[in-house]
Amino acid sequence: MFDLTGKVALVTGGNGGIGLAFAKGLLKAGAKVAIWGRNESKNEAALKELAALDGDAAAFVCDVTNTDSVATAFAETMERFGQIDSCFANAGGSGARGLLHELSADDWSAVVDLNLTSVVNTYQPVIKQLIERGAPGKLVVTSSIAAHLGIGNGAGYSATKAAVSGLTRALAVELGRSNIQVNAVLPGFIETEMSLKTPQYFQDSARRRTASGVIGTLEDMEGIAVFLASSESNYITGQEIIIDGGQSIFPM
């Protein structure tokens, strides 16, 4: 079970944090992995970590908010691996923080491009090649429990993460007859370079609200990537899978 030998997985934002954790889990399960990231030096550093797992991985410079950049990275990925079987649209970020009525139009557009439009840009060529191949496929987007929880000074982040959950449900219906499953992963507070830059009171609050009192680690994210990329998840589609140690259901 969960053997990904012969499969190719694409992970955007795969050069660090949750994306790199996804890539590690996929490699361990036998998949070949392509990572897309904007920063070439971070891509190279990630490949060194992945090389220790004795798998087949490659990195491509890509800005997923730019359709020309996506087209180039997609072509390079297909030339290197010949196919993409699962796609993890993981790239994203918090965007500008602040009260909604004080955000500029550019700030709002930037977070929409980063967390929503980028997913569409990534999915479009992957879906097209899956359908042209007549191959089954898996699409997974990294959302957040912020899609469900109210988070002050982060309306753009919460709204766009909720939007990709809606996109997930729509695509699950749209692509179901093509044997393509589409799901969203909603992490809670996971120890990443980005999350550890948040205020200490926020980190402490997240820890208190987990059922175990323990913050999630990147290793906790590897298994869900393998499961959702494998045939063992074939009857799961259009779902939001929350990985937060109970943070979203724990009483205040």
Q: What is the pLDDT of residues 215-225, one digit of tens each?
A: 899 999 999 99
pTM score, two decimals?
0.94
The pair phi, psi for residue 147, each rounded to 5°, is -65, -20
Q: What pLDDT score does 119 carry?
A: 98
| Complete DSSP assignment for 92-127 | ------S-GGG--HHHHHHHHIIIIIHHHHHHHHHH
CB atoms within 10 A of CB 60: 21
Alpha helices by DSSP H, 54-189: 67-81, 105-112, 118-133, 155-175
Domain ranges of the chain: 8-243
Q: What pLDDT score does 251 carry?
A: 64
Residues with a catalytic annotation lie at: 157
Are the C-beta atoms of 248 and 20 separated by less than 8 Å? Answer: no
Among residues 5, 10, 7, the alpha carbon closest in space to that of 77 is found at 10
Q: What pLDDT score does 170 carry?
A: 98
Q: How far apart are CA 106 and CA 110, in angstroms?
A: 6
Q: What pLDDT score does 252 carry?
A: 58
Among residues 31, 206, 74, 145, the alpha carbon closest in space to that of 22 is found at 31
Q: How far apart are CA 85 and CA 44, in angstroms?
A: 23
Segments of the chain with pLDDT less than 70: 251-252
Strands 86-89, 240-243: pairing kind:
unpaired
Q: How far apart are CA 184 and CA 228, in angstroms?
A: 10
CATH class, domain 8-243, is: alpha beta
